[in-house]
Structure 1
Amino acid sequence: MNWQGVFPALTTKFTADEELDLVAFSANLAAQLDAGVDGIILGGSLGEASTLSNDEKDTLVKTAVDYVDGQVPVVLNIAEGATREAVRIAERAAGMGVSGLMLLPPMRYKADERETCTYFKAIAAATDLPIMIYNNPVDYKIEVTLDMFEELVELPTIQAVKESTRDISNVTRLRNRFGDRIKILCGVDTLAMEELVMGADGWVAGLVCAFPRETVAIYRLVKAGRYDEARAIYRWFLPLLELDIHPKLVQYIKLAETAAGLGTEYVRAPRLPLVGSERERILNVINTGLANRPKLPALEELVHVD
């Protein structure tokens, strides 16, 4: 597993009747692969995982694994309230063709450090799949500290972190403490270029669902040391990237996908589609971005090179 590059956190496409829309899902997946992403992540918060049944999650995994056909790794997110359910999912994941796992801390209970580490270790012990820890204390109220990582990296399958603390200097703290033992992927769209410049290995992205080529271009330009070109695209992108750091990020990003021709606005209740002045305000941000899309360098000129 190569925890490097752009990993879209894919949205889950629904019909107007709130059923899975696998045609729209596959079309977006095709756009991501065409843009040159390095992996995909299923079942995250952006994927409305909390509203999906286990059978629906299995269907999404099978659809993605079959469509990708080994071109890039498929990573499954695990976000559960009960350790035994998280373990059950981990035990089945490899047999479904998943290449890696992303783990959130326990849901709906603010576990302490010992409980959180025990939870992660129990899941890791149930599978040989490589694991990325999702560290997002802002939204999930549990921080995975450096001392906790010191304990967790004793397990060889725990290999990466989705860094979402909103503290850019945490990239340097992790690198100073662990060197390259832990791969670091930025999990906050509005801090992505900053963290990549500071040495992050990748980007778990949200607005990539609507703008895959721009996202991949920024990543590859930074890694090629072409900072001025990356900065120009990033400055254009920032008003759109800010849609990722709002409680309605799902609705906002799905509206962006729709405007870009890569999805639909349909969400699953309790979420509701945007209406009225809020929809117009967000659509104005999106349409302004679409009207001023920057010219990108040829992606073949920016192959992913370490």
Structure 2
Amino acid sequence: MIHWEGVMPAVTTKFTSEDELDLAMFETNIKAQLDAGVQGIILGGTLGEASTLTKQEKETLIKTSLTIVEGQVPVIINIAEQSTKEAIEVAQHAEKVGAKGLMVLPPMRYKATDHETVVYFKAIANNTSLPIMIYNNPVDYKIEVTLDMMEELSECSNIQAIKESTRDITNVIRLKNRFGDRFKVFTGVDTLGLESLVIGADGWVAGLVCAYPAETVAIYELVKAGKIEEALAIYKWFMPLLELDISPQLVQNIKLAEVATGIGTENVRAPRLPLQGKERERVLKVIEEAMKNRPELPDYKNLKSVV
């Protein structure tokens, strides 16, 4: 059972300089997320450099996360595989290891038709008891999960949420108008976070939360408490950082920000490489400016929700 709400970080995978999993820094980051008040941990997404991880590394990350969170929040694993067979195997293994939920992308590499995509999602859902969030990101993955497709997917009771990353925040309203609370809706684009929450999104699968967990959760809690102006003040400060998430180098960008806040390292796994030259200077300047003006946060953990 997952309460699909709140901020759920798509966490980065921490590596040592020898390209091994850095579980000590990973624990530091996860504990910072928990301290800030996140409602779930999502492993192995784009930010988690999933395509470069071995099956054993993914299992290690799940088990390590479960040990750290001690049941406080659900640990969710991303499914982004080449074939239906692989996707089912990964989902079943994640359930066996102890993951509490799945975030599922459409088939990778092959641009499936609407029908093929629906059949793919249903096959995964029908072969696991884990609750599922569908990840809808046609901008990056070239397949849109339409409202009509979600209608078909509503037949699977364990498909319970959608990460809405079309860049059209009015889809939040369309989903709510059509399905009510049948599907919980999460915004998946950092630069549309506050707007999506204001118009009814249930939660935020966030990226810059990896470096700034308290600021991200504060925005969510303030919006839910009806304190929009206070949330907006933080969001305005946050925006230059949030724009680092909508870039092909989002992993390198966000890991640099994690270094600045002391809860990560810059190490990435090849073929990714650390930022260089003018782009590195630009990103560091954004981070440096933000750190100089980092806002003092209100007591966001003790607000009364009005939503």
Distance 1:30 1:38 in 2: 13
State the one-letter code of the partner of 1:239.
Answer: P
Three-state SS of the structure 1 residue aligned to 2:19 is coil
Query: Does 1:185 pair with 2:186?
Result: yes
Q: Deviations over 1:38-69 (max 9, x none)?
A: 10100000000000000000000010011111
Q: Deviations over 1:113-156 (max 9, x none)?
A: 11100100000011111100000000000000000000001110
Q: Which residue of 1 aligns with 2:195?
A: 194
Residues 222, 300 of structure 2: 8 Å contact kept: no
Distance 1:249 1:190 in 2: 13
Q: Percent identity?
A: 67
Residues 217, 302 of structure 1: 8 Å contact kept: no
Distance 1:198 1:90, change over 3 A: same
State the one-letter code of the partner of 2:31.
Answer: A
Q: Structure 1 length normalisation: TM-score?
A: 0.98
Three-state SS of the structure 1 residue aligned to 2:134 is strand
Deviation at 1:305, TM superposition (A): 7.4
Distance 2:281 2:173 in 1: 40
Distance 1:21 1:274 in 2: 20
State the one-letter code of the partner of 1:99.
Answer: K
Residues 7, 206 of structure 2: 8 Å contact kept: yes
Deviation at 1:18, TM superposition (A): 1.1
Distance 1:229 1:155 in 2: 39
Q: Which residue of 2 aligns with 1:100?
A: 101
Unpaired segments ≥5 residues, structure 2? none
Q: Which residue of 2 aligns with 1:276?
A: 277
Deviation at 1:301, TM superposition (A): 2.0
Distance 2:301 2:268 in 1: 35
State the one-letter code of the partner of 1:4.
Answer: E
Q: Which residue of 2 aligns with 1:255?
A: 256
Distance 1:182 1:240 in 2: 30
Deviation at 1:222, TM superposition (A): 0.1
Query: Does 1:69 pair with 2:66?
Result: no
Q: Which residue of 1 aligns with 2:156?
A: 155
Distance 1:305 1:25 in 2: 34
Q: Which residue of 2 aligns with 1:126?
A: 127
Distance 2:240 2:138 in 1: 24
Residues 5, 304 of structure 1: 8 Å contact kept: no
Deviation at 1:277, TM superposition (A): 1.6
Distance 2:305 2:208 in 1: 20
Distance 1:305 1:30 in 2: 28
State the one-letter code of the partner of 1:27.
Answer: T
Distance 1:226 1:304 in 2: 10
Distance 1:31 1:109 in 2: 37
Residues 161, 185 of structure 1: 8 Å contact kept: yes
Q: Which residue of 2 aligns with 1:297?
A: 298
CA RMSD of aligned residues (A): 1.0
Deviation at 1:260, TM superposition (A): 1.1
Distance 1:98 1:303 in 2: 31
Distance 2:44 2:85 in 1: 18
Three-state SS of the structure 2 residue aligned to 1:29 is helix
Residues 125, 132 of structure 2: 8 Å contact kept: yes
Q: Deviations over 1:50-95 (max 9, x none)?
A: 0000000000001001111100011110000111010011112222
Three-state SS of the structure 1 residue aligned to 2:48 is coil
Q: Which residue of 1 aligns with 2:3?
A: 2
Residues 221, 301 of structure 2: 8 Å contact kept: no
Distance 1:33 1:299 in 2: 14
Q: Which residue of 1 aligns with 2:165?
A: 164
Q: Which residue of 2 aligns with 1:216?
A: 217
Q: Which residue of 1 aligns with 2:116?
A: 115
Q: Structure 2 length normalisation: TM-score?
A: 0.98
Three-state SS of the structure 2 residue aligned to 1:63 is helix
Unpaired segments ≥5 residues, structure 1? none
Deviation at 1:16, TM superposition (A): 0.9
Distance 2:85 2:220 in 1: 37
Q: Which residue of 1 aligns with 2:48?
A: 47
Deviation at 1:304, TM superposition (A): 6.5
Deviation at 1:302, TM superposition (A): 2.8
Q: Which residue of 1 aligns with 2:20?
A: 19
